[in-house]
Structures are given as C-alpha cells and as structure tokens.
Structure 1
Amino acid sequence: MKHLSKINLDHPDLHDVDLATHVVTGVLYGAEAFFVFDRTITKDEDKRDISGTLKVLINKIPTFKVEGEGKLNMNDQQQKFVDRLNCKFYGDFQLSENPSTFADAIRIYRELPKLLGNKSESAVPKKVWLYPLSLLDNKGMRVVRDISSKLIDYTISILENLHSTEVTALDLSRDAIFTHFDHMKNHLLDFTARLSEFQRVLKEKIVLYLPQLRGNTGVQESVLFNLFKRVDSSPFNKRTLESWLNEKRQVISLVTSLLETLVEHKKLNVTIKSSSLHGINFDSYYDYTFCLSLRFVEENDPHLTDMHNYLYGNSSFKSSKSHQNNKTWFTDHRFMAKIRKDFRQFTDFAKANNVENRKIKFIVDEEYAVNHLKSTQLILYDDESEKVGFILPSKPSAPYVKNVTENNVTLGWTDGVNGSEKIIKYKVMYRQYISKLSDDRNENETAGKWITMETSDNRQEIIISNLSPTITFEFQAQSVTAIGLSVVSDLSERVTMPGVKALLSNLPIDARWGQNGKTVAGGNGQGGATNQIYRPLGLFVDDNQTMIIADHLNHRLIQWKMNNTNGEVVAGGNGRGNRLDQLDHPTDVLIDKETDNFVICDRGNRRVLRWSRRSGPTQGEILIENINCYGLFMDDQSYLFVTDIDKHGVKRYQIRDKNEIVVAGGNGKGVGLNQIDFPTYIFVDRQQNVYISDHGNHRIMKWTKGAKEGTIVAGGQGEGNALTQLSHSCGIFVDTLGTVYVADAGNNRVMRWPKGANEGTIVVGGNGMGAGVDQFNSIDDLSFNRQGNLYVVDHKNDRVQFFSLK
C-alpha cells in the first residue's frame, strides 16, 4: 500500500477538480456463464420428479463425455429425458453459436476455458477495489451525503426492467417461427437495438447526476426522480414495453399453432417464407401458384416509430395515436374465425392436390399489413397475374346409395356452395371395409387400398360395377376443376353388397322349381358323423353355395360344400355344454362378412356367440347374454336382429356397443297386432322392415321401422292347410317386391305369398309327411343361392334338400 501516497501521484492536478471521490486499487477479472434448461411438462408428469432428475443430470455435467457424432455417454432413459430439454445461454463469453440442447451445453461447457484466451485476454472485470481520495489528500472530493435507499432501489429497478425486457425480446427473436418469417423478427431486433441505445443514454445521464448528488453541489434527488418520470411517460415505460412484447408473443403463438399442420406435413411441399413470392420466378413447371398471404405485421410499427422519435427526435415529441386504445386484432372472434377458415381451406386444398404431376405450387407468404389492417388473403396466380374471381372448389357431401343390385351400386352426392360452377367432373374412390376386429393382416392391407373411378362429366351420379356380394364397401367423392381438386368428401355410410338372402330381387312372381329334391347335406340317418346331421335347424348359404347348418342335436355348426358327401365341423362339436368351445342346441347361424365371423344363436346356453371362421373350431366369444334366442338376421348396415322367445319380440343390436332396441313385439304373448307368440325366424329388408315368423300364431308379421304394431302378410287365418293358412311357420325370405317365401312346417311345404295377396301358392312339398324326394318331415328353415335355387332344411329327415329353379 506504500504506492498510495500523495507524492506518488502522476497527475496531482486532478485533486483540484471535482471528478472523483475514489481511486481504483485493484480489479478481479473473470467470466461467468449461465445455462438455463427448460422443458414442457405433460399433465401426466410430476414436476418434482422432473426437477429432481434434471438436478441430478446437471450435477453430472462435469463427468459427461461427448462421444462420436455428438452423443453423450448416458443410458437410454437419460437420453430420452435430455432430448426434451431446451437450453439458453447467458454470460460474459462471446459464443459463435448459442446452445439449444443439453448436448450443446455440455460441449460449450467444456470449451469455456479456451474461450477466455491464452492470456485470459477475453476476461471481463468482475470485482473492483476502491480507495477514498480524501485519505490521500484532504483536498480530495468527499462524500458529503448519501443517496436515499429509495432512489437507489428505484434506479436499480428501472435499469433491471429495461435489461430484462431487452433479453426477453432477444429470446422471442430466436423463436422457431422465424426460420420462416422475417418481418416480426426484424421488429424485435429493432426493438432491442432501440432499447439498448435508450439504456446507454439513460446510464450516461445517471452517471452525470450521481457524483453531484453525493457531493456538496446543491443538486437534489428530485433531478433523478424527474428523469425517471420522463422515462415513465416515454415509449420506454415498463407498461408499454411489456404490452408490446406480450402482443408479439401472442401473435407468435397464434401463427405457430396455425402453421403447425403445414410444418408437420412435410410431404405437402408448401413453401413458407417472408415475401416468398418475390423469390419464385413463377416456375414454368407449375401452371398456378396458390398463396396464403399473412398480413399481421405493419412495415412501420407505430411503437417502434415512437421509440425512434423519442431517441432521435426533438423535445416536442408526440406519441403516435394509431396504436393507442385499440383492441388487439387477435381478440376479435369474427376476425379469427375468418383467419382459421382461410388456413383450413388452404391446408385442405394443398392436401387434396398433393399428387403426382400436380400443377399448383403452394406458398405461405408474409407480407406487410396495409393501412393498419391485419388480414389473411387466399390468392391464385396464373403465370404472374392474380386470377380474379377464383373460388376454391367446395367439398362434396358424403356419397349416398341410390340403388344396389347384385354386384352394382349407384351413388349420388351433392356439392357445397363454393366453386360448384367450376367443376368439370368427379372422382369417386371406394375400398373394401374390414373391421378392426379382423385378425387377417393381409386382408386388411388389401382392403385398405382405394380404387378410383371418374365420371365423364359433372353429373353427380356414378354406377360402380363388379362388386363382390356380401362384401362391405365405403365410398368418397372429390370434385375435379380445371385448376385442381377439391377436398375429399366424408366417408359414406358403409354399404354391404347383397348376400344370398338378398339377391332374389327379380324372381318372377310365377317362378317354378323342380318338385323332386336332391339331398345335398345329411340324409344318412341320425348321428354325429361328419356325413350326418341330427335335427338340423337354421341354414345359411354363402355366395359359393357352401351351406352352414345349425346341427341342433349334435350341438355344433357343420359346413357342407356343394356335391360333397361329408361336412366339416366349424364350431362346437365338443359335446353339449356351456364352455366357450361348446354349444347347446344351436338354432340359427349367419356370416358377418364385415369381420368374417359366424354369429350363432346358442339357444340352450341363452346366448349369442361370435366365432371366427379363420381360427377353426376352437372357441367363441359371447356377444349377447341371457336371451332365449331362436333366429338371427344381419342387415346391410351391420345391425344384428335377434328373436327373443321369452319376451315374444325382436331386438336390434349394434354389436360394438351391445345396445338393444325392441323393434317388434315385446308386449307379451298374444294374437293382437302388437303381439307375437313364439317368434322363430326373421328377415329384414333394406328399409329395415322386419318380417317375423309368428310360429305360435301361424302367421308372418311385418313391422315397419318405428311401428308400434305389425301387419299380417301371410297366414293369420288360424292353423290349417288351406292356401290362406299356415301351420307353425318357420323359415322366411322376402324379395324386393315384397313376395314372402315361408317354410310351412306343419304342412310340410314351402309357400309363396305375393305382396297384398289373401292366399299363397305351394312352391315345393305339400305331398304329405314322408322321406320321398318330393316330401318333408317337419321342414324348418329355407334359403336361396345366387341362381335362385332353393334349399330346404328337412328337420326330422335329418337332411337338406335342394330344388333347382326352372
């Protein structure tokens, strides 16, 4: 300390001027670095757990090593955790790039000593030692008074707020959205530059006043307070700065969320960039350029203008009024609805036209707002000229079925309001629908492929041919214009092509069948061998003429191909029982083509089962429990209809949710039109009219959709063998003309009952009880194949008879 004496002063004349109160006696140089890590926490995560894990990893930073390709030596769980971390750097070091990930932070952490320089020339002063001049010479300037702590705190608060605001603005300027857009980023950088300049000017003024306040100069603290009052009434006051930044923050969040879909779908190949139109010379590869122009930023931001004028203008500064007391545009619900609509239309149009040989280039462009009006604009450019009056082609309605035949479906649809007049034709796409319940992956992959057809003009109708029977399809439509394609319509309701029980729409009213039947299943006496069936009941014939028979007293389903001498057990066959691999007196069966399963009425177990056709005779799955079922039917909308003997009615189910609706009967046993007595088999047409074999009342009832009671369409004249009568009616089929075919069990005949007729005609049988080729012994169910040939279950003769259509 000996050098601190008056005689060692190089400039003793400085004692004679009031420039300082202290002399610097020592400086500690160094540098500080701060790494700030953050991440988003989901609602399922615990903040304390995340914080704890992060603390452990941060403590391990000195031990981590960076391996090849920048990877850290950590386990998979730690790697997944740090992959979700964001990093920001603050400090005294001049970095060539800022870290954004945990790995970046580790790498820069290890490089920090080198960044100080070989001789620590990049270090900055961190601590200073001062010595009062008055102790060296009594002429030295002395501290006459202290500055009030209130003023000191207020000064520090203002400076810290300004600095904090500058840092916040710089952070915002690094947002990912600015990889696409420049206008707002430039505003943020201008904002920080003007804020930095203002801080420099303000500090100069504070430095000028502080020595005067501490010395014997007569200057009062009010000088600084007045200075800060001027700051508070300037464009640099805290409220105005934070409000401006908050508005920018909300706009960034809004634009980010709006662009999220486009950024995620990189295959859309949409160019997103400020003034991107200027950078594209309207490539000749494209016929059109479709632009979504965002105009959310003003070229001359009013607040930035105020900041500039305050810094560099004269003392007569006046704030711009254009941005004062205005409601922010993004809080206007109507305006935001319009913006979201434009984004949705642009995105949908881009997706719809993301095809090979596309003719349209898609651009999201940032332009400056005009006359302070924020907006979005959808603009189509033809070559380099804006195409006036362009209307986006509208999304068609979901296709609907106008008509279905054996393998054809006629579809119709309607257009929306916009763009319909520009449509030149339509594309219609269809595919086979396979339920998620299906286990066949290959079938799912094949079924998922869309097949495309086009109309020849703009008529809203198409016929799709050669569709396989009993297969379920779904359809979509799309408008085609001279410029591009519309958004694809919603999916149609699923359409199941007619199966065997729905193909006979054009049978002549006087059609005739051979009277001598051919045995095509069973006929080898009672027994459980594969060439025998024992008291068969329900029958289903698929489009390959394969029969599936409810082999009632063998407690199994047996599948029998045409012209085979033996059948194959496909469900049950493990003795009578209630295990899932057993059946107990099954009465009916059908095939659900949507899932490729058997649906079985397992009456003895009071349940309905689903049994996979692919897995072999293993076991079933319970669909419906606690029901005394007898007959089943599934319509083309995949609704399952089941007769309930205990409730004397018919119930409809949606298999997926198992909800039931009573669609017929349910009013107790009786002969009234709202009653049924022992319903056996059922048939449902495309209008969801339900035909019921009212076994105990010897009649066929028709219940229209939503009806409270039915009408008699066959029999109903008491039990008997007259042409106006039936005896214990069983299996039924109804064609599209409303003609009813009935298995008249007690009379051993099949009857045909035309719509509106008072009596029926005998189709086959009626020759007394017996085992002859033209006789039956208590027939039960019936079915037809695609050619109109008739199958009849001859219950007590333990066989199925086949009758050819003449």
Structure 2
Amino acid sequence: MNHVVANGTTTSTTAAATTTTVTTATAATTTAATTTTAATTTAATTTTAATTTVGTTTIGTTTTITTTVATTTIATTTVATTTTITTTVATTTIATTTVATTTTVTTTVATTTIATTTVATTTTVTTTVATTTIATTTVATTTTVTTTASTTGVSGLYWNKTATTRAGTSSSGAGLNQLSSPTGIFLDSSDYLYVADSGNYRVMKYAPGVTTGTLIAGSTNVSGTTLNLFSTGIRYIFVDSSQNLYVADTYNNRVMLWPSGASTGTIVAGNATFGTSFNQIYNPYGIWVDSSSNVYVAEYQNQRVTKWAPGATTGILLAGVTGSAGNTTTKLASPAGLVYDEANQDLYIANSATATSTVMKWHVGDSSGTVVAGTSASPGNSTTQLISPMGIALDQWKNLYVADRSNNRVEFFCSGSTTAITIGGAIINGTTLNAPYDVKLDSQLNLYVSANGGARVFKLAKL
C-alpha cells in the first residue's frame, strides 16, 4: 500500500507606509503511515499465524526566509513662505515561496502460510522527502521630504517671524519683570541676557528662559554721577568672557567697568566731562572690548571712534573726524552701534544721523571706510535704504544685522550684499516693532531685539 503526502508553505507579506512586515508560517509536514495488520489463521494442525506491522514516519520541515531591505532617503529643503512636508513611499515586495514536499511510504506485507508452517512477514517502508523552499522578499523604499519654512532668510539662516517676549512686559515699569526704554542688549557665552534698562537707570541680567531679571548695576530710578550710579541715559553695554560688564554711561560721558558681582564700577574711558580732547569722550554710545581688554567707543557727539588701552587716561582716534559729521567716506555721522571684528581688525559703525543712515566698515589703521549697508545721504525704507540705524550685530559668516530704528524693523545683509531682507518687523501678533534699538545673537543664532518704544526685548527663534 503506497501513501503520498504533499503540503505547501504559506507566505504572507504586509507593506505599510514606512514599515514592511514579512510573516512566514512554518511548514510542518506530518505523515502517518501505518497500522497495517496482516492476520491469517489456517486450521490444519491448529496453527495460528498472526502478523502485525506498525510503521510511523513523521516529517518536520522548517522554512527560513531571508529578507533584504534597501532604504534610500533624500531630504531637500527649499525656502518659501509656508510649511509643507510631503512624504512619498514606494514599496515593492516580491515574495515567492515554493515548497514541494513529497513523501512516499511503501509498505509491503508478504505473508506465506503453508499448512503447519509459521508465517514469514517482510515489511519495507521507504520514505522520500524532497523539500525546496525559495523565499525572496525585496523591499525598496524611497522617501523624499520637501520642507518649506514659513520664514525669511538666506544662506541657510531662517528665523520664526513670530517672536516671543524675552524680557519686559507690554507696559513700562520698574519691577524686576519690567523694563523702561531698554537700549543696549548683550548675550554672553552661556546665553545670559543683559539689558541696559535706560529709563530705570540700571542694567538687568536674565538667566536663560527666565523673564524676571536681577539688577546687577545701577539703582532703580536713581541717577547720579557717583561710581555706583548711572546718568539718566545709558546706551550700549558689553560683557567680556569673565562676565565683567562695560556700560556706556552716556550723559555722564564715561564708560564704566563693573566687575562681575561688584556694587560699584570704575571708569575705563573718559573722565566724566564732555569735550573733544583725547582724555574726554562726548556721549558714548556703542562700545566693544577686545580679547586684550582694549575698549572701543563710538562717540555720538564727537563723530568719532576712539580706542582706550587698559589703564589709559587718553584714547586714540581710529575713525572719523573729531567734531565734524558728514556723508563722505572719511567722516562719521552720529555713530551709534559698534562691532569690532578682531580677527580682521575691521570696525562696523552705524551712522545714525537721519541724513546719513548707513553702516560703515572701517579697517583699523585706514583713514576712510566703506558703506556696507544703507545708501549714503538717501534715507528710506527700500531694501537698500535705512533710517537712523542703531544697534548692529555680525555673525561668524560676516552677515550683518541692523536695528533700523525709524523704519521699525531689523534688516539682514548677507556678507558682501547691500540689499537687505527684513527679518523683524510686525512680529508680535501684528504689532509693529517699536523703535528697535539693538540687535544681538545668542550661541544658537536666535535673534534678540530691544524695543526702545515697547519696553520689551523680543526673541526670534532660529529654525
């Protein structure tokens, strides 16, 4: 008697958007061949032949499927005005499984009985199992992501145009969470924010993420000429790598150094009297301190930039003509914001006089500068014009950021370009930025803007 058993293997493949699952059921083949009993009884001299043959064969087949997945992802970012994320997944799966199982069980029972001869039984069981399994699963997935940011920017720099309030409130005040006519701002290497709270005659410090400040210099609503007080108008500030604070005490005609944690300051530029001699400064605005602690001062009324070495009682002229404003490349006009690119020894100076309204780049040692932003003697609100620029900032790629005060906007000039992109304007729920006075970047290139007319410092997050 012959038994042939053939069984198949089932392969189930499921493809999802980004996940491919291959499930393979194990082929289990069981062949039962048996229980063939030959019972023969012959009566002659009363001899009984009884023959029983039992043969059981079980076959177990396990199929292994190897899956190869190849995934390629291409991400492309394009700038525009909305945010769209498109993901396309193409998945092709070919699963071929062939299982051929052949089992042959041959059982032969031969029984011969002769009269008084006992039975002779021969049983042959032959089992042949041939199993061939081919399982090929190929999953090819290609994902293309195209992102369009709802921001304005170039050269890979983009900011959220909806700002958050970093310091101050919607109303002017003297509380530790309020500001009054903020002017200069600064971010140290740990992203602590420092604010010249001009209307309150003090400097405030804010820890990252905290909107209530700590008074670190001056006295709230108390002005004076002593070394622990400021005048009624302080302008720009600078913080060095040791967290020492430098303050342009404008109407006291001096630059003050307040060591970290100190309750009083010392004079590092000027002698607290205004004048045109080089031991005097007249209405200091923008200040900068280099790695050797030299202090650079933009003198608003003296139309010049001077440099003061540590411990010096007189400064040296670096840019401009003392007491003479103008639109030529050899003169400055009410210099306000100041940045010093120490590596290249270049000064960047904002000419805030309305009739001039430019930013100049002036190499130390040269007798003239070049206009890098704005159109000289042509103030306006086009992409190549400014009106009364104040604070400025420079990033590591020499891109220039300008607080364009009378245009109520912040302008961004790519290095080498005189055409601007506006990155800050109507930034708080449609409310116009009110008289931006300074602009700075933190370590992550988030942008901060002091609104002199809005009693706040805003933050525009980098995307």
Q: Tell me if both proteins adopt one fold, taking TM over 0.5 as the criterion.
A: yes
CA distance, structure 2, for counterparts of residue 688 and residue 773 of structure 1: 40
Q: Shift of residue 665 of structure 1?
A: 0.6
More displaced 10-residue stretch of structure 1: 551-560 or 667-676: 667-676
- In the other structure, the counterpart of 2:112 is none
The CA distance in 2 between the partners of 1:726 and 1:511, in whole Å, is 22
Out of 291, 304, 311, the position equivalent to 1:649 is 304
2:257 corresponds to which residue?
610
CA distance in structure 2 between the partners assigned to 1:564 and 1:511 by the alignment: 26
Structure 1 gap ranges (5+): 1-506
Larger strand percent: 2
State how far apart, in whole Å, the 2-side matches of 1:714 and 1:663 are: 20
Aligned to 1:619: 264
**C-alpha RMSD of matched pairs (Å):** 1.8
Residue 788 of structure 1, aligned match among 437, 445, 458: 445
Match of 2:236 among 560, 573, 588: 588
Return structure 1 stretches of 4+ with deviation > 4 angstroms: none
Matches within 5 A, 1:123-134: none
1:650 and 1:666 in contact (8 A); partners too: no
Cα distance, 1:564 vs structure 2: 2.0
Report whether the alignment pairs 1:712 with 2:371.
yes
2:187 is the counterpart of 1:541: yes
Q: In 1, distance between residues paired with 2:396 and 2:177? A: 36
CA distance 1:635–1:508, shift in 2 (3 Å): farther
Where 2:406 maps in the other structure, the secondary structure is helix
Q: Which residue of 1 aligns with 2:247?
A: 600
Counterpart residue number, 1:521: 167
Aligned equivalents of 2:170, 2:424: Cα separation in 1: 22
Q: TM-score, normalised by structure 1?
A: 0.35
Taking the aligned partners of 1:565 and 1:671, their CA distance within structure 2 comes to 41
Cα-to-partner distance string for 1:637-694 (whole Å, 9 max, x where unaligned): 3321111122101111112234411111125111111111110010111221000001
1:508 Cα deviation from its structure 2 partner = 6.3
Matched, 1:571 2:230: no
Which structure dedicates a bigger proportion of its chain to helix?
1
Aligned partners of 2:346, 2:421: CA distance in 1, in Å?
Answer: 23
Q: For residue 797 of structure 1, give the secondary structure of its aligned residue in structure 2.
A: coil
Judge conservation of contact 2:189–2:241 (CA < 8 Å) in 1: no
For residues 545 and 660 of structure 1, the distance between their equivalents in structure 2, rounded to whole angstroms, comes to 31
1:718-752: CA deviation from partner (whole Å, max 9, x where unpaired): 11110010011011112343321111111111111
What is the alpha-carbon distance in structure 2 between the residues aligned to residue 597 and residue 754 of structure 1?
31
Q: Following the alignment from structure 1 to structure 2, what is the Cα–Cα distance between the partners of residues 677 and 772?
A: 35
1:290-333, Cα deviation, whole Å (9 max, x unpaired):
xxxxxxxxxxxxxxxxxxxxxxxxxxxxxxxxxxxxxxxxxxxx
2:200 to 536, 545, 554: 554
Distance in 2 between the 1:728 and 1:645 partners?
A: 13
Q: 2:436 aligns with which of 762, 769, 779?
A: 779
- What pairs up with 1:192-341 in 2 under 5 angstroms? none
Q: 1:677 to 1:701 in 2, by over 3 A?
A: same
Aligned-residue offset at 1:593: 2.7
Distance in 1 (alpha carbons) for counterparts of 2:189 and 2:418? 33
1:689 aligns with 2:335: no
Sort the Cα spacing of 1:773 and 1:654 in 2 relative to 1 into closer, same or farther, 3 A: farther
Aligned-pair CA distance for 1:714: 0.4
Q: Is this contact kept in 2: 1:520–1:562, CA < 8 A?
A: no
Asked if 1:661 corresponds to 2:316, the answer is yes
**Within-5 A mapping of 1:170-181:** none
State the Cα distance separating 1:608 from its structure 2 match.
0.9
Percent identity between matched residues is 28
Q: How far does the alpha carbon of each residue in 1:102-133 deviate from its partner, in whole angstroms, 9 at most, with x for none?
A: xxxxxxxxxxxxxxxxxxxxxxxxxxxxxxxx
Of residues 390, 395, 400, the one that matches 1:735 is 395
Distance (whole Å) between structure 1 residues aligned to residue 428 and residue 415 of structure 2: 32
CA deviations on 1:191-217 (whole Å, 9 max, x unpaired) are xxxxxxxxxxxxxxxxxxxxxxxxxxx
1:336 corresponding residue in structure 2: none
Matches within 5 A, 1:127-166: none
What is the CA distance between 1:774 and its match in structure 2?
6.0
| CA offset digits 1:604-654 (Å, max 9, x no partner) | 211111112223xx2111222232201111123332111112210111111
1-structure distance, mates of 2:292, 2:396:
17
Q: What is the alpha-carbon distance in structure 1 between the residues aligned to residue 186 and residue 211 of structure 2?
A: 18
| Alpha-carbon distance in 2 for matches of 1:558, 1:651 | 27
Output the amino acid matched with 1:788. Answer: L
TM-score normalised over the length of structure 2: 0.61
Q: Which amino acid aligns with 1:680?
A: A
Higher relative contact order by CA 8 Å / sep ≥ 6: 1 or 2? Answer: 2
Aligned residue pairs total 294
Q: Give, in angstroms, the shift of residue 775 of structure 1.
A: 3.1
Q: How far apart in 2 are the matches of 1:635 and 1:613? A: 17
